[in-house]
Chain A
Amino acid sequence: MTPLLTLDDLRKSFGGLRATDGLSLTVLPGELHALIGPNGAGKTTAIGQITGEIAPDSGRILFEGRDITRTPAARRVRLGLSRSFQIVQLLDAATAEDNVALAVQARQGHSFRFWADATRDESLRHPARLLLVEAGLPPARWDLPVADLSAGERKQIELAVALAAQPRLLVLDEPMAGLGPSESRAMTETLQRLKGQVAILLVEHDMEAVFALADRISVLVYGRCIATGTAAEIRANPEVRAAYLSEEDAV
């Protein structure tokens, strides 16, 4: 099977720090691929390069066989590579539905339309509501400014917004971070439902969720991928145990 996303020997240094050090990785169509690693392993820098916010020093990024190493972030989204942020990035003054409607609008092409009322455009509003249902936000919360919503609800909107791009690859940056146990469970269920419909690259610290959800797991240590495999393989891998799990256990 041709990979959906290929990272080929990516390197990125900040001053003397090698945040990404020869990272190679593939995400296959339809799989849920988790990227784990101890703090400081370079996960955030890797995501930055995949989504186009950080330019790698060397190496290549292929999406559906096409070289996107130098493609601007906004274009990558239009190519089908959408992401969520660890720290929620939403339009705080706007409502939940407005946020998702704008994402739907972005998906529909350019927005140089000055006349028709977008706030009452059902071709934007209807898909937005469907996405909010899919992300699990109760309808009573749709018309509130997102600044007034809880952390869990904001994460749900963040997911709905990322899905609105109708991506072929969804990069989720710690969707469980900052959630309580019940919110975490709800998010895990939502991702379980999404699994198979869209390929997902999941960066997450919640190991319970990762091992329950992932088809394959890659382990990042010091900016490089030391192992890729199924949950069972990763659990059994001595190198991973040494580099990561032991450290995690010790904490």
Chain B
Amino acid sequence: MRNRLRSRLPSRDAVALTLLLALAIALPWLAEAAGNPAGIALATRIAIYALAASALNLALGQGGMVSFGHAAFFGLGGYAVGILYAHWSWQEPLLGILPGTVSLPLTLLAAVGLGGLAAAAIGALSLRTSGVQFIMITLAFAQMLFFLFVSLKAYGGDDGLSVRRQGEFPGLSLRDPAQLYWLCLGLLVGWLALLRRVTRSRFGQVLAGARQNERRLRALGLTPYPYKLAGFILSGMGTALAGALMVNQARFVSPDMLHWTKSGELMIMVILGGVGTLLGPVFGAAALVGLESILSAWTENWQIILGPILLLVVLFGRGGLMALLRRVLPA
């Protein structure tokens, strides 16, 4: 439906992608060799945000659902990890029945499940509106969750929760930053492969149709609502997975993850990279996280530079980095 996603990858793109992936895999060794091991943590953050941004892009770019509340799913994913850890360390089951855990496969699964449930509830209600009302109602739900976690003193309230025990994954030692990075990279690549399939599937075609013209869909005999809801749920699940990984990396979760500015940041990554493209959000995440890290090393007031950069991108850089890339490297 969308040419950029649809057209069969030409060989030059395939070569470029393979090189990019090889570079991404080799990054920890390159960072060590360059004497900059902190670069691994930065790359991990980029991979995690890339996952969150491309999950948001499924709702925003593919389905045309401008959600201003995706921080809710990011934060819920994070809190799933934090809360399960807390109950594990207190040796006290959650709600008296659910034992805590630090097993990464279990906590990730819990995060994805929680994200999906929350997205189902929020989406089912929010998708009854559209346009600005949709933007604002998703924001409202995220704000509700933000204030809920601020008020939950049991889980640290405003101050958040420290996760003092690294998640355990069979065969990996996640204390090693490089192994954590590879895990995040692997999940990102897997997620992108899944997205690519989903956008080209029958479901993906309907979702893209809903973005472009809902009236047309109804005249085809299709009701947009259930398809948009399914897309929104899938998007929430991916964002929650990213949130869970973020807490594993930062070893800390706080209501900041649910703050509305986090929703804004995820949107920025999508737009910066290119709305509705498969790899755009990845580049967008790399650009924003990278820019933040460079600018903040340079000046404490880096946001005064970032703000105008965003403005310029919106005003003059239509299509984001992917469009720029396509001008340099036509398909």
A binds B: yes
Which A residues contact B (CB, under 8 angstroms)?
51, 53, 72-75, 77-78, 82-83, 85, 89-95, 98, 101-103, 105-107, 111-119, 121, 145, 161-162, 164-165
Are B218 and A73 in touch, CB under 8 angstroms? yes
Can you list 26 pairs linking A and B with CB atoms under 8 Å apart? Answer: A53-B215, A72-B218, A77-B218, A78-B221, A85-B215, A89-B216, A90-B216, A91-B213, A93-B1, A93-B208, A94-B2, A95-B3, A98-B205, A101-B205, A102-B1, A102-B205, A105-B202, A106-B217, A106-B221, A106-B222, A111-B202, A111-B222, A112-B203, A112-B227, A113-B202, A119-B6
Number of interface residues of B (CB under 8 A): 29
Nearest Cβ in chain A — how far from B173, in angstroms?
34
CA distance A89 to B213 in the complex (A): 7
CA distance A93 to B211 in the complex (A): 10
Given contact pairs A91-B209, A93-B1, A102-B1, A116 touches B221 in the complex (Cβ within 8 A)? no
Given contact pairs A91-B1, A102-B209, A111-B227, A77 touches B221 in the complex (Cβ within 8 A)? yes
Nearest Cβ in chain B — how far from A25, in angstroms?
21
CA distance A31 to B203 in the complex (A): 36
**B150: Cβ under 8 A from any A Cβ:** no
The 3 closest A-B pairs by CB, nearest first: A77-B221, A106-B220, A91-B212
Please report which residues of chain B, range 1-50, place their CB below 8 angstroms from some CB of chain A when the two chains form the complex: 1-3, 6
**B197: Cβ under 8 A from any A Cβ:** yes
**B230: Cβ under 8 A from any A Cβ:** yes
Are B212 and A102 in touch, CB under 8 angstroms? no
Nearest Cβ in chain A — how far from B61, in angstroms?
12
**B238: Cβ under 8 A from any A Cβ:** no
- Provide the residues of chain B in CB contact with A111, threshold 8 Å: 202-203, 205-206, 222, 227
Are A118 and B202 in touch, CB under 8 angstroms? yes
Q: Could you give, for residues 192-207 of chain B, a 1 whenever the CB lies within 8 Å of some chain A CB and a 0 otherwise?
A: 0000011011111110
CA distance A72 to B224 in the complex (A): 12
- Provide the residues of chain B in CB contact with A116, threshold 8 Å: 201-202
Are B219 and A85 in touch, CB under 8 angstroms? yes
Nearest Cβ in chain A — how far from B169, in angstroms?
27
- Provide the residues of chain A in CB contact with B208, threshold 8 Å: 91, 93-94
Nearest Cβ in chain A — how far from B238, in angstroms?
14
Q: Whose C-beta in chain B lies nearest to the C-beta of A167?
A: B221
Q: Whose C-beta in chain B lies nearest to the C-beta of A51?
A: B219
Which of the residues B3, B201, B219, B226 comes within 8 Å of A118, measured between beta carbons?
B201
Are B2 and A105 in touch, CB under 8 angstroms? no
Which residue of B2, B3, B219, B223 has the most chain A CB atoms within 10 A of its CB atom? B219
- Provide the residues of chain B in CB contact with A53, threshold 8 Å: 215, 218
Which of the residues A74, A89, A114 comes within 8 Å of B222, measured between beta carbons?
A74
Are A72 and B223 in touch, CB under 8 angstroms? yes
Are A94 and B1 in touch, CB under 8 angstroms? yes
Are A93 and B2 in touch, CB under 8 angstroms? yes
Interface of A is mostly: mixed
Which of the residues B2, B212, B221 comes within 8 Å of A75, measured between beta carbons?
B221
Are A112 and B230 in touch, CB under 8 angstroms? yes
Q: Whose C-beta in chain B lies nearest to the C-beta of A124?
A: B202
Are B197 and A165 in touch, CB under 8 angstroms? no
Q: Whose C-beta in chain B lies nearest to the C-beta of A165?
A: B221
Given contacts A119-B6, A119-B205, 5 further A-B pairs with CB under 8 A are A94-B1, A116-B202, A117-B201, A119-B1, A161-B220
CA distance A42 to B202 in the complex (A): 38
Which of the residues A73, A117, A119, A121 comes within 8 Å of B219, measured between beta carbons?
A73
Which residue of A72, A102, A113 has the most chain B CB atoms within 10 A of its CB atom? A102
Q: Whose C-beta in chain A lies nearest to the C-beta of B207?
A: A111
CA distance A51 to B206 in the complex (A): 21
CA distance A243 to B277 in the complex (A): 56
Nearest Cβ in chain A — how far from B60, in angstroms?
15
Please report which residues of chain B, range 205-261, place their CB below 8 angstroms from some CB of chain A when the two chains form the complex: 205-206, 208-209, 212-213, 215-223, 226-227, 230
- Provide the residues of chain B in CB contact with A117, threshold 8 Å: 197, 200-201
CA distance A93 to B221 in the complex (A): 20
CA distance A83 to B213 in the complex (A): 15
CA distance A112 to B219 in the complex (A): 18
Nearest Cβ in chain A — how far from B3, in angstroms?
7
CA distance A78 to B221 in the complex (A): 5
Q: Whose C-beta in chain B lies nearest to the C-beta of A101?
A: B205
- Provide the residues of chain A in CB contact with B200, threshold 8 Å: 117-119
Nearest Cβ in chain B — how far from A54, in angstroms?
13
Q: Whose C-beta in chain A lies nearest to the C-beta of B6?
A: A119
- Provide the residues of chain B in CB contact with A119, threshold 8 Å: 1, 6, 200, 205
- Provide the residues of chain A in CB contact with B223, threshold 8 Å: 72, 74
Which of the residues B1, B206, B212, B220 comes within 8 Å of A77, measured between beta carbons?
B220
Q: Whose C-beta in chain B lies nearest to the C-beta of A145?
A: B3
Are A90 and B213 in touch, CB under 8 angstroms? yes
